Amino acid sequence: ILPLVSVNQILLLLLVLTVCAILYNKVHQVPSALKNETVDLENPEEMEEEIPVVICAAAGRMGAAIAAISSIYSNTEANVLFYIVGLKTTIPHIRKWIENSKLKEIKFKVVEFNPMVLKGKIRQDASRPELLQPLNFVRFYLPLLIQKHEKVIYLDDDIIVQGDIQELYNTKLAPGHAAAFSDDCDLPSTHEMVRSVGMQNTYMGFLDYRKQAIRDLGISPSTCSFNPGVIVANMTEWKHQRITKQLEKWMQRNVEENLYSSTLGGGVATSPMLIVFHGKYSTINPMWHIRHLGWSPDTRYSEHFLQEAKLLHWNGRYKPWDYPSVHTDLWENWFIPDPSGKFKLTRPDS
């Protein structure tokens, strides 16, 4: 049996150790936000906010998606997650292209878009059949494709990003706004170009004001339009306002009443958005959407202006992977050749 003094000493020692342990835990307490989570504190990238960027990979123009992704990835340190949306037949091609090029380091998810959701909602129009491709309507269905994000960037494939995509993601959306777009009247330096190639930048250029349903909207035909090729969207507001359902309603009305046409300014994907978002959207910094580069093979912007631009958009018929087109050097800087050789650039000497 231990002497009484020894027992007391042991108890005292245990008490001291207990107090020390309590004090140590107080000083080195784990923040509550990290409890029950596995966090790699040595890799700060794991703790950065993920920036989801949605881009479509359409048959015949996959090189566009590749160049867009390449430009975004090369010009940012942000934690970007690419959602690459395609049809069942095109998905294997885009996946192999990424995995067998320098883009294999990107974070991406391939999402299949089912064109059956569009059945009965698209009016056939022979003047510009490329505008009726199913992937043109992916932007209508963002919440169905992207589940876990509050804020999402959608980009057309015929763009190049020269700035840090984090800046675009930081675009502030006003309370109650489900999306931010670029106004078509927002950049004085593009106005002369718009006039010179006969482009429309008002609602008159997209909607048929001879139709009663359009006049009943009460929107002045001289109202400035916006371009939905670059979108910063709030998914919570989008779902709350049932934006997808509203867009589908106007698609179906167009099938029945021919309210807009691809012979007008922006085709069949822009017009429903102009109606649904009228007076209810925030604006993107104009330098984050310099567009109309594909409207004419002859009209050019100044090189200095294009160097200052954060995002370039070849909307229109004249694409930078085809010929003729303008400012193709700025696009080709980011293009990565197709390892399979299926996608080839069209050039005057090819």
pLDDT one-digit tens code per residue, 76-103: 999 999 999 999 999 999 999 999 999 9
pLDDT single digits (tens) 98-146: 999 999 999 999 999 999 999 999 877 655 566 678 999 999 999 999 9
- CA-CA distance, 152 to 179, in Å (whole number)? 9
Please give the model's pTM, rounded to 2 decimal places.
Answer: 0.84
Q: What is the pLDDT of residues 42-86, one digit of tens each?
A: 454 455 799 999 999 999 999 999 999 999 999 999 999 999 999
**349's tokens:** 């000497």
Higher pLDDT, 270 or 12: 270
Domain 51-185+226-240+281-333: CATH superfamily is Spore Coat Polysaccharide Biosynthesis Protein SpsA; Chain A (3.90.550.10)
Question: CA 123, CA 59: separation in Å to the nearest integer?
Answer: 21
For residues 150-154, give the mean pLDDT. 98
- Coil, helix or strand for 185? coil
- Output the pLDDT for position 34: 33
Per-residue pLDDT, 47: 57
| Burial (Cβ within 10 Å: 0-12, 13-18, ≥19) of residue 153 | buried
pLDDT of residue 153: 98
Token pair of 333 as six digits: 């800087």
Tell me the average pLDDT across 154-172. Answer: 98
